[in-house]
A and B are shown apart, each in its own frame.
Chain A
Amino acid sequence: MKPPTDVKWRGGPAALLLLLLLGFFPLRPRGADVGNCLMCHKYPGLSRVTEEGVLRLCYVNEDLFNSSVHSKVSCQGCHTDIDQIPHNPAKKVDCLIECHIVEPTSEKKFSHEHAARFLSQSVHSKYDEDGKLKKYAEDYPECKDCHDNPLWRPMSFDKAQHAGVSEKAMGRCRVCHQSDDFIIRYYNHVTTRLHKIRNPKNIAEACGRCHNDPAMVARHNLRTQAGLSYNDSFHGKAASFLNERIPDCLDCHVRKGESVHQMLSHENPRAITHSDNKIQTCATTDCHSNASVKLATFDVHAEFKVGQSPGQFYFTAFFIFLTGCVLLPLMGIIFLDLLRRLFPNLVLRRRS
């Protein structure tokens, strides 16, 4: 949900009138919309132009929102500064605030601060080991650079595995639990977390927002435009056909069992991408279970650049050269043959 931010509200009286008019119509109760925000934000045309001239859509699709992982968080749970309708320009959402949901294992209010702590220890932290701000700190990601409000992706495990809620499993849940709302939410949460919330293609696209940017790659002295070189790898090609089982960025760059926010530099000996540890990733039972240490020397992020992979660059160049040398003369002959057949009797020969 995009919060309205830095514009002055000029349509206050009109909105108030609209509010009063709408107040006459009975509204369906909303899951998390205790503030009745959807009264206005449910309209697809609701939008504004910021002072920078950017069109912002303020529409919230209720069905989509109710299918998202934040469906039980009220609007005010994130947009804490909004306490009246119509409201003033909202501040940016802080993902680290405590929301009203209680985390059942600790019985404390839920917050994403654990993720932020992991992030601060990772290669994506804005701060170096001494706590100083890194060069180009503004390039390092914040929560919303990688995350949006993802939808539940429930899975059904019965005779076969497929997407969606299993009615049979629901039946088993109802033996003990009375509230369908609770059962579905719990089911969604657990089965969504048993696999990934985004498919490999989407994950590569998310990482590519920064890692495909040539300027950013150059500023941080990175070896590759990682999203693009991933796309050209076998993994990336399969991901482009929406294969869910193919490894994505997180599979290879995060140690199993650790938070994805704990991504470390490949120079860090603790990193799973460190040359000494790579093979642990490749040789998992789900991937190349029979892999030897040498498989880790496979260059997943090879690019057609002489500076990055000279051997592969010249090897590829050879095939391009070969293709040109073979096809161009042959296509020339085809063209001449077609031309010749138009003038079968013509000969450019001097008379003797």
Chain B
Amino acid sequence: MASHYKIKIKNGEKYFHRFSLDQRIQHIILAVTVILLVLTGMPLRFHDAPWANFFYALFGGIERAPVVHRVAGSILLLLFVYHLFYLANQIIKKDLRPMKQRGELTVRNVVLLLLTQPLVPNLKDVRDIRDLLKYLLFLTSERPRGAKWTWKEKFDYWAPFWGMLIIGTSGLILWNMGLSARLFTGETINYALIAHSDEALLAALFLFIWHWYNVHFSMSVFPMGTAFINGYLSEELMIEEHYEHYVEVMTECGYRSEIKPPHGHHSDTEVMQGEAM
């Protein structure tokens, strides 16, 4: 059963499981709300730009666009809260309960457990970044052999996490300035406005440049990655980005003999030919 779950074979091609249905639904909600927030927020930030009026008019102008923005922001915040529960539930179910049953539930063990969660950055990520730079600077022919979650995906995950805290908190402050000024000071609203606007710009640029390049526009996946829809990644992309994990899954599912070499794994002759170019 596990092998069917982790690898799906369609028309002779292997596809590797990446995201559960729950995760994909969360991602779709995240994507739609973020796009709505950008479309209804950026015209305010760049209100003098010639395109600002057009985008604002798409959402009903100054009367309705702020309502759309707040509704989308509320959904995103609810999603964030849901995700925290989802995350906690996953850790409790998979790690903490077994740990408790083994009688190993101590503060030290819990901290260690949290620090070794799959999406927490680790030393391998540092090594992978180093190796990627070596590869990109033509110093080696091999791409780093990525684990299940590469540093790029961890970056993609934690950047919105941080952004959500900053943009969400400042958004709530700006939503009801009267109440906010009761709780804090008027100047807090100035800082909230800066944080909301500037962090949103960073988040939007990050998503539309970095994230979209990696998952949609890179030459390996162009014109569009489909893992966020069907949850599966092709063998080709698994080899390119997650080779270490690819070998693990192939071995685990009994396809050890079919494991392909990593990309850029050239013989010495090939390397010399490359140099001749």
Contacts and interface: CB of A to CB of B under 8 A. Distances in A.
A298 B186 contact: yes
Nearest to B43: A241
A288 B186 CA distance: 12
Interface in B258-275: 264, 266, 270-275
Interface string B92-127: 000000000000000000000000000000000000
A27 interface: no
Interface in A304-352: 309, 311-312, 315-316, 319-320, 322-323, 326-327, 330-331, 333-334, 336-341, 343-349, 351
State the majority secondary structure of interface residues on B: helix
Contacts of B189: 295, 298
Given A295-B178, A299-B186, A299-B190, A340 B135 contact: yes
Contacts, number: 146
B2 interface: no
B139 A347 contact: yes
Contacts of A234: 174, 193
Interface residues of B, number: 57
B215 interface: no
B78 interface: no
Contacts of B190: 298-299, 302, 309, 312
Nearest to B159: A326
Bin the interface of chain A by size. Answer: 35 or more
A341 B210 contact: no
Nearest to A291: B178
B210 A345 contact: no
B4 interface: no
Nearest to A333: B136
B187 A330 contact: no
Contacts of A292: 178, 181-182
B194 A290 contact: no
Contact of B177 (A298, A326, A349): A298
A341 B16 CA distance: 24
Q: What 4 pairs across the A-B complex have the smallest Cβ distances?
A: A298-B186, A297-B186, A319-B198, A295-B181
Interface of B: 43-44, 47-48, 52-53, 56, 61-63, 132-133, 135-141, 159, 174, 176-179, 181-182, 184-187, 189-191, 193-195, 198-199, 201-202, 205-206, 209-210, 213, 218-219, 264, 266, 270-275, 277
Given A291-B181, A316-B194, A319-B195, 6 more contacts: A292-B182, A297-B185, A337-B218, A343-B277, A346-B138, A346-B274
11 contacts: A299-B186, A319-B195, A336-B133, A341-B219, A345-B270, A345-B271, A346-B138, A346-B277, A348-B275, A349-B271, A351-B272
